[in-house]
Structure formats: C-alpha cells, structure tokens
Amino acid sequence: MKLSKRLFMAVLVPFVLIGLVPQAQAETWPSKPVRIIVPFGPGGTADVFTRLMAQHLQTALGQAVVIDNRPGGNFAIGTEAVAKSPADGYNLVLVTSSHTLVEALGVNRQKYQLMRDLTPVAALSNAQGVLVVHPSVPANSVKELIALAKSQPNKLNYGSSGTGSMLHLEAELFDSMAGTKMTHVPYKVGSGARIDLLAGRLQLMFDTLDGAAPYVRSGKLRALGTTGKTRSLALPDVPTLSEAGVPGYEVQVVIGLMAPAGTPKPVVDRLNAEINKIITRPDVREAWAKSDGQVLVMSPEELGKTLSAEVEKWTDLVKTANIKLD
C-alpha cells in the first residue's frame, strides 16, 4: 500500500521537529542563570576552585553562574538533585573521584547511578595524595616500609577519613599491590588521623598533599611516595609510589562537572569548550597549583571513560578487600 505525499509528510514532519528541539534549545541556551550544585560544604579546595572557575564562566556565558552547596548523604543530596533535574543545561553537579568510590560501594544506588543518570561535561583538575610516616617508623623508603610491614603483619596502624573514603582505599590498594597487611584505623575526618599521626599514635597514613606537605617540609612527617602518575610540584623530591617500589600504583583525585543524562550535546560541548578555555588561563593554573592541583583538560567522552574506569577499579578492590561500610 502506497502512502500519499500528504500523509507521508504528516507522519514525517513531527519526527523531524522532535529532532530539532534539542538544537533549538542549544541555540537559545543560556537564557537564564546556570546552577552548579556542590554536594559538600563550602570552603574545601574543590569548592574554592569551582567558585573561581564559575566567575569566569559567568562572563563567557553572559549569565549568572550560581554555586549551591548541598552537603550530606555521601554526596547523595546534591548529586541526586541534579540527576533528577531537567536535562536542559541549567543544572550541573561537581563530582570528584570520591563519587566513584561511593558508586563502587553501592551506597546511593537506589537514589541515582553516576554513569547512568548523569552525563560528563568537563574535567576541572586532578590532585594526588602522599604516603607519610611518623619519623619514629624505621623506614626511609617505600621498599623499606614494605619489608617492615611484611615482617610485622597487622602491626602497623594507618589512619583515614573513614571506611570507604579515598584515604582508606588508597591504603587498601597499596596493601593489595605491595602484598602487605596493615591495620586500618578510621576517623571521622582526615585531620583527626593526621593529628594522631603527628603525635605518634599512628605509624602512617595516606594523606592529601595540601594537608601533609607543611608537616613534611618541617620534618614532623616523612613522605615516602606520592600517588600520582608523575611527581608532585609541591614535593618534587618525593618519588611516586610507582617508581619507589609499587609499579603501576596510581591514584589521582579527578574533579569535574556532570549534567543530567540527556542534556543536549551542543550545550555540553559549549560548556566543555568554555570551561577548558578558563582552566588553561595562566592565573587559574597558578591559583590551583597553590593547592598542588593541576588543571585537567578533557572532552566529555574522555572524562566519562576516566570516571567509568575508576568505578571499575574501586569496585574490584572493594570486592577483593571485602570492604564494607559500618
């Protein structure tokens, strides 16, 4: 049976128009303020850097960019709010590698799934951690620490910012790759573990670089290795863990922005292009470097692959190390 030309057009046109809707939205976007939800409290390094980026993004877009801090629920409160927002480019969420840990632990799975309900927009930066020991520990290198830990299984205590936290899983990954077994002592915050490490009540911990570096420089702590792929600008004389005795060890905290799944690609691409221009400005690079962060330029697809790989890596570690939240 042949369709008449009029009937054919009547069937075809609605589908064509539907396909043009996202393009039309992108051409008029943004026509109102853009909101970035930060799913943790104000004042942290990532929050401060995001605010700096947002100031420049306002100028680039010609619209206000509002930072909305919504802490709580292992990032669920703020992240879920964006995951369930309209996919129109006006709601973004700041994500970090800690989101991939939460995903691996299955904590917020009933509320949202990171790679299903959100789409990558742009990376902002990455940062690395550092393995530090109390000066009383008889280990001046990673290899010496591994030998010490193997000779005294479960005798060395390390602190973290809580079970399932980045600082905890960095240590678990070390244990797994180095063949050691150390005892985890969880704290509510990383600074609490650092205080006890400085007092000698702990032997070691994986810490943030901005938190530990001042104590390393003053000699109150000894740095054995950093967690990144390359050496840190803050502690250039400290080798990476990979070069110091644990080949292939690499953990870098990625910070980026995501939008609700289904956000029009032209909008995502515009945001990505503008943000990449901003974070490569010399003044922005310099501001981030003061906290030992490095700007990270990625396409949306590259950011998506990075986050997916992290979820896979942490999921495997959670299973093999039998990590369970209290």
Return the CA Rg of the chain: 23
Query: How far, in Å, CA of 225 to CA of 233, rounded?
Result: 13
Tell me what pLDDT residue 108 has. Answer: 77
The span from the CA of 43 to the CA of 228, in Å, is: 24
CA–CA separation, 44 and 132 (whole Å):
22
Q: Where would I find the H helices in the chain? A: 5-28, 45-61, 76-83, 97-105, 114-117, 142-151, 166-178, 190-198, 209-217, 241-244, 265-279, 282-289, 300-320
| pLDDT in 10s for each residue of the chain, 326 residues | 455 566 555 555 555 555 555 555 567 899 999 999 999 999 888 899 999 999 999 999 999 999 999 998 889 999 999 999 999 999 999 999 999 999 999 887 878 999 999 999 999 999 999 999 999 999 999 999 999 999 999 999 999 999 999 999 999 999 999 999 999 999 999 999 999 999 999 999 999 998 999 999 999 999 999 999 999 988 999 999 999 999 999 999 999 999 999 999 999 999 999 999 999 999 999 888 877 778 999 999 999 999 999 999 999 999 999 988 76
Tokens of 205: 């911990």
CA dist 94 and 96 (Å) reads: 7
Which residue in this structure is represented by tokens 């292939």?
248
pLDDT at 1: 47
Phi-psi region of 303 (alpha: psi -120 to 50; beta: other; left: phi over 0): alpha
Q: Does domain 28-126+252-320 have CATH number 3.40.190.150?
A: yes
CATH number 1.20.950.20 is the correct assignment for the domain at 128-244: no
Q: Is 128-244 the same fold as 28-126+252-320? A: yes
**Domain coordinates in residue numbering, the chain:** 28-126+252-320, 128-244
Distance (Å, rounded) from C-alpha 134 to C-alpha 56? 42
What CA–CA distance (Å, rounded) separates 142 from 300? 36
pLDDT at 5: 61
Contact in structure between 279 and 295 (CB atoms under 8 Å): yes
Residues contacting residue 199 through CB under 8 Å, at least 6 positions apart:
none
